Amino acid sequence: MKTAALFASFSSLAIAICHYGTALSPRTDLFRRAGGAFGYNELQGPLNWHGLNSENMLCAIGKNQSPINIVAGKIKSVKGSSFGFTAPAYLKGAEIENLGTGVQVYVNGSATVAGKAYSLQQFHFHTPSEHHVGGEYYPMEVHFVFQGDDKSLAVIGFLIDIAGRHDSTDRLISSALRNVGDIPNAGDITTTGALDFRGLQSHLSRSDVFTYDGSLTTPPCAEGISFNVVASPLFVDVATFRAVKSVIKFNSRYTQNAPGQINLVDNARNVLNGAF
């Protein structure tokens, strides 16, 4: 009976798919749109996101989930110059907020993804990186989230490494996180340092970008997201990384199956149901 009870909750995975509205509004973020509270540990963590709210079922049965392990040659790549990414300078900084599951900066801008125009809504950080490249993870990842006129979403992600002796740290990222130590708790808000996007734009234009159809990496794990991961990493110094890690702690979803393949949670359900 205990075995049956343990696996009974998996039975709902095959019978429900959420259809989640993806509209963004001012001060609305991808984290707080989740159905029910979620986190990254224990029963609030990714393996049980589908059990927190019925809106989150794609987290367990979706076949185009993010993040993924990117294997060169198997995932399409495009030139970063094709995105035409622009954003105004924020000489006095922008608002940065601790959401409890990450920190997020509210800015404007634009980009063109696969020939479609999108408006920048915000950017937020994950530590460690959510995407892997050739099986390797990075200390951090930043996601720039864009929305089209039809409410569709596109994400441009940059992997972030720790700067070595001969690496130049990224000024935008370093300045965005300058005051992250002032927002240690969920709901805390402060202002970033001055933000100048020209260096990031130049980095993107010189890089190749891996692109695939994926999902939100947080509940409700809605699919149909254009995910674009820049191949060349950015760099931050050790002090910046430690400051971010002390505030965010850990907010990385485990890598998902290859696009179009069975969801790992759904696969586990099938295996476990066949074993008992």
Q: Element (H or E) spanning 203, and its range?
A: helix 198-206
Which two structure tokens, joined as six digits, stand for 242? Answer: 């430690």
Nearest to 59 by CA among 249, 213, 224, 256: 256
Provide the pLDDT confidence category of residue 153 given band limits of 50, 70 and 90: very high
Cβ partners under 8 Å of residue 28, min gap 6: none
Q: Cα torsion for 54, 56, 60, 64, to the nearest 10°?
A: 140
Provide the pLDDT confidence category of residue 275 given band limits of 50, 70 and 90: low
Q: Which residues pair with 20 in a beta bridge?
A: none
Write out pLDDT tens, residues 32-53: 444 458 999 999 999 999 999 9
Mean pLDDT of 58-74: 97
Mean pLDDT of 168-183: 97
276/150 Cα distance (integer angstroms) = 46
The pTM of the full predicted model, rounded to 2 decimals, is 0.87
173 phi and psi angles, rounded to 5 deg: -65, -45
Tabulate helix, strand, coil % of the chain (nearest 5).
Answer: 25, 30, 45
**CATH C-level class of 63-260:** alpha beta
Mean pLDDT of 74-89: 97
Tokens 């990031």 label which residue? 200
pLDDT at 227 over 60: yes
C-alpha gyration radius of the chain: 19
Mean pLDDT over all residues of the chain? Answer: 89
